[in-house]
Amino acid sequence: MAMYRLNNLQLSVCVDSVGAELKSLKKINGGTEYMWDANPGYWERTSPVLFPFVGSLNNGSYRYDGKEYPMPKHGFAKDMEFDLLRQTENELSFLLRADQETKLKYPFDFELVLGYRFDKHNDNKLIVSWKVTNHDSREMYFSIGGHPAFLYPANSKDVQTKCKVLFDIEDKIISSVVGKGSLFSTRTRAFVLRDGMMDITADLFDEDALVIEHDQAHKVSLCNDSGQPYLTVSFDAPLFALWSPAKKNAPFICIEPWYGRGDRENFTGDLSEREYGNKLAPSDVFYAEYTIMV
């Protein structure tokens, strides 16, 4: 376990080699911290990478090539030690390779590179990237996603109703409902937006995360009580989640770009049949990124 730091004129970043997890994103002038501190009284993570699965699997396992494999929620990469691959003035990248341990849970020869770099044109923007390579001799199936937890603006920490979320759409947003066992039901919830904005209320996450599918939005801003953006996450992912622990009045919200999601209730198909799954041919590469702007 080691901590690595990255700085530019505006921002300071700290990344843990365990999970290559972003632990701190701080404004140098004024010292504003944007990341949750992983206090286990609410949630013991800050920004885990979700790989090779996003969400929960039916009965905690998946089937591939006639065999059943157990898998924890959100996969195993978040708990593994990454190797430092590259460190420059403006960039950090970390490497995780398949080994004997991972192949007991996930039988593919993969390589995952998780990167952090400052935008060359905006010192207030951090780019988070994922690069997945299939070194196997067969097609590889996987999901990947982010789970960054951002503190509410300082004047709103104790009262969630003072905060708002702004989307890059105007009228409404539809969320899939996460049901029993964190599996997906067929039920949805519709939220009417006012000029693209939705209030964060104390009961918003009582039914678990809001999961916004089907490319409904690609930019989400956390705003203060006057509606001014405090932090913005931008992405190309086909779905994303908003989450905070249910009924805890926690001082943070997660804005999570996803390429994949958990199983539907009663899903019993093969790994290749999972919704939103990604497929890589031998030697092919998957690349995606999202940005955090403060």
Q: For residue range 217-247, what is the model confidence (pLDDT) as tens digits?
A: 999 999 988 889 999 999 999 999 999 999 8
Q: Confidence class of residue 84 from pLDDT cuts 50, 70 and 90? A: very high
The residue range of the domain holding 53 is: 3-293
The predicted structure's pLDDT at residue 96: 98
What pLDDT, in 10s, does the model give residues 3-30?
A: 999 999 999 999 999 999 999 999 999 9
For 23, how many CA atoms within 13 A lie in the half-sphere containing its CB? 17
Measure the CA dihedral 31/126/194/159, to 10°.
-30
Q: What would the mean pLDDT of 61-83 be, rounded to a whole number?
A: 97
The predicted structure's pLDDT at residue 154: 77
- Average pLDDT of the chain is 94
Q: What would the mean pLDDT of 77-87 be, rounded to a whole number?
A: 98
The predicted structure's pLDDT at residue 105: 96
**Alpha carbons 94 and 51: distance in angstroms, whole number:** 14
CATH code at position 8 = 2.70.98.10
Structure tokens at 199: 């209030």
**Alpha carbons 74 and 147: distance in angstroms, whole number:** 10
The predicted structure's pLDDT at residue 157: 45
Total domain count for the chain? 1
How far, CA to CA in Å, does 156 sit from each of 15, 39, 78, 210, 220? Answer: 26, 18, 29, 21, 18
How far, CA to CA in Å, does 204 sit from each of 17, 38, 98, 199, 233? Answer: 33, 21, 38, 9, 20
- Reply yes or no on whether the pLDDT at 69 is more than 90: yes
Structure tokens at 82: 């990454």
- Reply yes or no on whether the pLDDT at 162 is more than 70: no
The predicted structure's pLDDT at residue 156: 54
The predicted structure's pLDDT at residue 226: 84
What pLDDT, in 10s, does the model give residues 167-220?
A: 999 899 999 988 777 899 889 999 999 999 999 998 999 989 999 999 999 999
Residue given tokens 């039988």 in the structure block: 107
State yes or no: cis peptide before 52, omega within 30 of 0. yes
**Alpha carbons 179 and 218: distance in angstroms, whole number:** 25
Q: What would the mean pLDDT of 31-37 be, rounded to a whole number?
A: 96
